[in-house]
Structure 1
């Protein structure tokens, strides 16, 4: 397995040119970091200095960057490079970029409101994001990277389940559990793919929360030792070649009670409902409703704190969103997280995560930990 080749980005830019032409534009100024990475393959450091790609309908693409990024930008295949001195500069860099295009009708995917009036004096601005619809539907080579990333996210959970009991028994904490499991998978990822994927975005992120603190959907991992009978939420993200996948589960330290089994059954039902709704190609907002229905039916509606999921690709969170307000129909090639969660403040919290790929015939589960470890086996022995 190798990073996506420059030829892939060439086809991406050709599709974007076609979108721009169909909208009557002279070209696209691509500023959003995820869009820029998608259109160039450049895994750059996002900071306050704007970077953009001018993609004319006819002509060569121009990568526009601060001067300190010149050498890095010159390594990007298929583009020419133009630089500005520094940020914030006498002329705001984005306005400089617009002027450099010498175009009359420009699509801009992300523009600060304070720059809009000045930008409109340079060109006719279309504030439609023409890149996101292309990003939403992944191509086979992108899906291969996502599947492989999901495999290493699963590896973290497999290690946590296998080694967690010994670590906690020796006095280990959430921090120790996370360090051991992520270190194990990160070493395996580097051994298998490190040489081929040097210079790309590759890595593992994780969170581990236990007991009452698991009721916080986003919390800080602490030097807290899980107690017998408590749930332990582990959420894992992995990136390979700039593409993201997730896997997550709630394990129990010790025996699972009947009430805990009821919670886990509701979450498994939400997973199944998500797969069914995506298979039926429902709009994203309808997928969210279908997925949360089993949790509500089980009596846990008041414990829902977030949508069922989100898109994944060059960013860990990206459109489309499995959430109210997104009417995008599910389509083959789209990749989503499925994250049913039940959070009961001062008591406990539960969340599981799967990476789902919509296919021509149904829905593929790329992250396999939950499928390979049914709810009654998700026990860290005490």
Structure 2
């Protein structure tokens, strides 16, 4: 059980318990898909005794159905006593692990208990269990469905003057309808849905640009990035399509990105640390003379949050291990000209890397073409 693993970590660290405050950690440890806002929520998890959810009073009814936990509430935020200090006092413990704490509250918190700021939850979240992996695979399947629809229907939409917005709306509504028909009843009350972005032409060089009423033109790339959540667990899939036949330059870029995908999978299999995986995965792009067009890390972890640790990026020394789930997102961005990105969901298995998102495997880069 997840909470038992956290209790064991707390006990090994000489703590009386853990107070989880990061929303992703609370969701993961309770299964409660609450709406995070300015009012803090916490889960007190003592080494001995029952777990207790600590919530603002307006959430009491919503929290009452969370299984296996007690419930305490405070009146309102910010309050005469900051809610987090109230939680620490309510724990009635001498040694408390808190993974997230406003620096302004550290001194007064230490007047109540000895505070350990080690994040004991993130290492446990990083390695997924079979039930979690099943949800991630299913989320990847529906993310792929958006790309399949874009490939089959995109040409007709653009031929009728359709825009980035139209392409995104058609593909996401198609997949969301299937998602809700398949899982809407079973996962009611959890995070369930699809997010997407579609960027074309020179605007594809903006990784987080707005989706606009712009009609893609022949010869332009169209980047589609898709995220899906099923039962509160996330996966991603993404690809760059070409309007009409790709040029030799287009093919060169896509080949470099395919090589980056393969290098990322190989580095994960070798158990490199996350920073090392990032370096190895980006090397094929640099070797293709596109190093100046790299704008971001190769990927990130996924689970109850769409972006979560570990990070396939400089500075993260977490060793890759079986059960971890990562996005792999090679990107080439040339401002004022074009942009290219693909996304796959990788699950590290004991004997290799499982690719949970299958669109790129089923649809090689040379046939990701939207007819014009």
TM-score range, shorter chain: over 0.9
User: Could you tell me how far apart the structure 1 residues matched to 2:167 and 2:314 are?
Assistant: 35
Q: CA deviation at 1:290?
A: 0.4
1:1-382 to 2 correspondences below 5 Å: 11-382=1-372
Distance 1:375 1:354 in 2: 13
Q: What CA deviation, in whole Å up to 9, does each residue of 1:167-225 have, x standing for no partner?
A: 00000000000000000000000000001010011000000000000001110000000
Aligned equivalents of 2:364, 2:26: Cα separation in 1: 40
Structure 1 position 114, deviation (Å) = 1.0
> Residue by residue, what CA displacement relative to the aligned partner does 1:74-103 show, whole Å, maximum 9, x if unpaired?
010000100000001010000000000110
User: Displacement of 1:43 after TM fit?
Assistant: 0.1
**Residue 150 of structure 1: how far off its partner (Å):** 0.1
3-state DSSP of counterpart to 1:198: coil
Per-residue CA deviations over 1:306-363 (Å, capped at 9, x if unaligned) read 0000000000000000001011110000000000000001000000000000000010
| Partner SS, residue 251 of structure 1 | strand
Q: CA RMSD in A?
A: 0.4
The offset of 1:26, in angstroms, is 0.2
Task: Name the TM-score, length of structure 2 as normaliser.
Answer: 1.00
Whole-angstrom distance in 1 between the partners of 2:109 and 2:170 = 51
Residue 6 of structure 1 is matched in structure 2 by: none
Runs (4+) of structure 1 exceeding 2 A deviation are none
- Separation in 1 of the partners of 2:103 and 2:168? 41
Deviations 1:16-57 (A, max 9, x none): 000000000000000000000010000000000000000000
- How far has the Cα of 1:372 moved from its partner? 0.3
> Distance between the aligned counterparts of 2:276 and 2:158, measured in 1?
41
- Deviation, 1:264, is 0.2
CA distance in 1 between counterparts of 2:62 and 2:348 reads 35
Query: In structure 2, how many angstroms separate the alpha carbons of the residues matched to 1:166 and 1:247?
Result: 23
Q: In 1, distance between residues paired with 2:108 and 2:192?
A: 39
Separation of aligned partners in 2, 1:118 and 1:163: 59
TM-score by length of 1: 0.97
User: Structure 2: 5+ residue runs without aligned partners?
Assistant: none
Aligned to 1:154, the other structure's residue is in SS state helix
Q: State the secondary structure of the residue aligned to 1:122.
A: coil
